[in-house]
Amino acid sequence: MSLNSQTLTGSGQDWTTNGSSSSSSRRGPMENERMILKPSTPTRNPIPPENAITIAVSAQVLFNMEKEQQIYEQQGMEGYIQYQREHETEPFSPGPACSFVKALEAVNTQLRKLYPDSEELFDVVLMTDNDAEVGPRLNNTINHHQLFIERFCETGGNRPVADHTHLYLSSDPGKVREALAKGIAAAIMFTPEKMNEVSETQLRVAFDGDGVLFSDESERIFKKDGLEGFQEHEKTHEKDPMKHGPMKCFLEALGKLQNKLNVNGQRMDCPIRTYLVTARDDGSAGKRAMNTLSSWGLEIDEAHFLAGAPKGPKLEEIRPHIFFDDQKSHVDGAVEMGTVACHVPYGKANELSKKGVMGKETSAE
């Protein structure tokens, strides 16, 4: 197996809830769960959830709230709320998801130009466990950074995300696992110490293959029978599609919008670009990956088969807004080189770490 890389360029549930409009940190579970419709600047009509591609993002990955988290842990909810009130006009600094959310809005801008009446747009929902009294600071921060987020969902920690969500991003492993268990694409987002500059006009999304776009069936063969067993299995099943993994539905959503935006056949200039960055080689293992995507009716703009080489350098070259991988070591390597990377705790690679993070984690998210 060579260590080179090859690039192929080619072709439910409503968010509105019935909770009380009053706010108190001592409310019951159902009273503490409600939706806030927030007018952005400039104001836009909310996108109907049933037609949108819904991206749920926790406050702690959209903004940098490390200091506030420390205050919550040291002083409890009352001290946390008091601090937020006193700093209401002080915006949070951007978090790892901020550039991704801005890129989604850039795609929406292009879609609105081409299809003024279409409701097939990205709809970002801010997820937070915070008491509503913290809302004004979040509002001010969103307007300060010129983000277009019309909806907040305050769950009180009871329900992680609505069933129709296409992608859920959080720093809380327990909530991400709960979402994955419901069949929702979800990942734990990590923050690089220094983030790479990314495109302001083209959304770039990079995916690992096994355990992310595809199921982990081949990965299980590799762990059981080693490299030779894996290669023989992929050669034998080269034309057999793999089962889908947790991020397939998000790639489908991106592909649907790509087809709408690719009106002049200029694929390279499309406002959305997708990447497969996998440890597979470019032999039978790579062919099976591409055959699987083809059998689903999906395309990937670039496929990089690294044959076990580190992914960080290739991702630094691509500069995606977001990268998904089921193996924490690959996520760590990407983060070290400035890529905003997300861990998908799914499949064989994460079975041993599953215990201990299924429970609710203490967070001021």
Are residues 24 and 135 in contact, defined by beta-carbon separation less than 8 angstroms? no
The three-state secondary structure class of 55 is strand
Nearest alpha carbon to residue 247 among 218, 217, 276, 288:
276
Q: How many alpha carbons fall within 13 Å on the CB side of residue 223?
A: 11
Residue 208 known to be catalytic = yes
Q: What counts of helices (H) and strands (E) characterise the chain? A: 10, 14
Provide the pairing of β-strand 53-58 with 272-278.
Answer: unpaired
Question: Which residues are CB-contacts of 210 (< 8 A; sequence separation ≥ 6)?
Answer: 216, 218, 219, 242, 245, 278, 280, 326, 347
Name the token pair of 279: 């440890």
Surface-to-core class of residue 11, CB atoms within 10 Å of its CB (0-12 exposed, 13-18 middle, 19+ buried): exposed
Of the candidates 208, 281, 282, 325, the residue annotated as catalytic is 208
Name the token pair of 254: 């991106």
Nearest 5°: the CA angle 24, 30, 33 is 65
Provide the pairing of β-strand 203-207 with 186-189.
Answer: unpaired
The total of other beta-carbon atoms located within 10 Å of residue 31's CB is 16
Just list the catalytic residues: 208
